[in-house]
Structure 1
Amino acid sequence: MDKILRSISYIFHPLLMPILGVIFYFSKSPRFIPYDIMRAKLVSLLILTILLPILLFFLLKTLGRVKSINLETTSERILPLTLNCIVIILVLKRILTPNQITELYFFFVGILISTMSCLILAVAKFKASIHMIAVSGVFMFFVALSIHFSININGTLALMIIIMGAIATSRLHMKAHTYKELIIGFFIGLLPQLILVRYWL
């Protein structure tokens, strides 16, 4: 059980959540989007939101700015979160502009707001759960898409709730976070997506 709970934190790592939201959008959107455009967007996002952060992490670890991928202290979080904000801004400027795919643009605006909120809390010496921020943001985006496109994804939403519970249990089991840090992380991820719904729903 210990190995299962620990593996959950890695299987549902925060870096994977944005690309998961984009894949889900492309799979459920009733709009015609050329395959070449979808592939280009996905490859670009894969490079910027997964590969680049991993490379930056190893660079920071080499320089001694971080000790582990878990970013256990608030001081370790400041620089990675700052770099992640810059990456998301780059995504919004170059890959997901508002006049192309509006839903995904505001999805990433929400991610940016959540990341900046987490950064501000890290500066204030509070360690909100990045895992919960990521998964709750994607969950709210899925809910909004189901309403926007009038599609029944109750099974997916139920699965997402189970995943959120599993992640929270995993983080508590690993003593990575307290209940308070998990709950605040949940709302930091969910609320920006909920607030931004008014601009595209």
Structure 2
Amino acid sequence: MMDTGKTDNILTLMAKAISVAFHPLFMPLYGIVIIFSTPTLFGYLPFSVKRLLFLIIMINNVFLPISLLPYLRYRNHITSWTIDNRRERMLPLFITTILYAATSYIIIRYPVPAFIKTFIFGVFIISLSVTTLNMWWKISIHSTAAGALAALVIVLSFKMNSPLLWPLLIVIVSAGLILSSRLKLNVHNPAEVWLGFFLGFFGLGLVMWFF
């Protein structure tokens, strides 16, 4: 029988792997993939449009933030790659929010469905909200991203009148794994995890439902 210490080490490694695989920076990419792959009208967008949107988000909201981390570490703005300190998160969050604003501005100018524009704008609103709340409380950004993806699938299902059972099941299971992983790693308490989830869920959900 496996001893308790070894089991705990395995669970910790799994929690770290889940945290990396579902890093908040990847959330817009996962969201746009969900939109493109669901059996709705978005699944029939020209490949060139899908590729352009994917590249814009990949460069602005994944590559640029990650590429800035070594500089922030070199300048001692952050002391670890995971940026667990609340105060150290302020500058990366501010930069990320500015980049989301730029992405939203770029995509709004392109002739793409309004739902996609609203999704990107909603992500910007969530990022701005997280940055503001971080001045007082270190909420879980991973959980915020998980909640936002769950809201995206639900709103997409209602607005497109298309039951998205499998995507919904996947995001719910993923959300459970993400929230559990953040608690397992002791980087957040339950209140911070749940606040993050509900901020992402209701933040993106309300923006996409009403706009």
Do they fold alike, i.e. is TM over 0.5?
yes
1:131 to 142, 155, 163: 142
Q: CA deviation at 1:197?
A: 2.9
The alignment status of 1:40 with 2:59, answered yes or no, reads no
Runs of 4+ in 1 over 2 A off after TM superposition: 95-101, 197-200
**Which amino acid is 1:5 matched to?**
A
Structure 2 unaligned runs (5+)?
1-10
Task: Figure out how many residues of one structure are paired with residues of the other and give that number.
Answer: 199
Bigger Cα Rg? 2
CA displacement 1:138-165 (0-9 Å, x = unmatched): 1101111111112222122122111111
Contact 2:122/2:203 (<8 A) preserved: yes
Give, in whole Å, the separation in 2 of the partners of 1:183 and 1:97: 35
Contact 2:155/2:209 (<8 A) preserved: no
1:92 to 104, 108, 111: 104
2:134 counterpart SS class: helix
Q: CA deviation at 1:193?
A: 1.6
Match of 2:85 in 1: 73
The alignment status of 1:168 with 2:163, answered yes or no, reads no
* TM-score after normalising by structure 2: 0.88
Contact 1:97/1:105 (<8 A) preserved: no
2:95 to 63, 80, 83: 83
**Which amino acid is 2:183 matched to?**
L
Give, in whole Å, the separation in 1 of the partners of 2:129 and 2:107: 23
1:95 counterpart SS class: helix
1:111 counterpart SS class: helix
2:178 counterpart SS class: helix
> Matched residues, percent identical?
26
Match of 1:157 in 2: 168
How has the CA–CA distance of structure 1 residues 61 and 187 changed in structure 2, closer, same or farther, with 3 Å as cutoff? same
Give, in whole Å, the separation in 2 of the partners of 1:66 and 1:89: 23
Structure 1 unaligned runs (5+)?
none
Match of 1:143 in 2: 154
Match of 2:20 in 1: 10
> Cα RMSD (Å) of the superposition?
1.6
CA displacement 1:26-71 (0-9 Å, x = unmatched): 1223154221121111112111111011011222111110122322
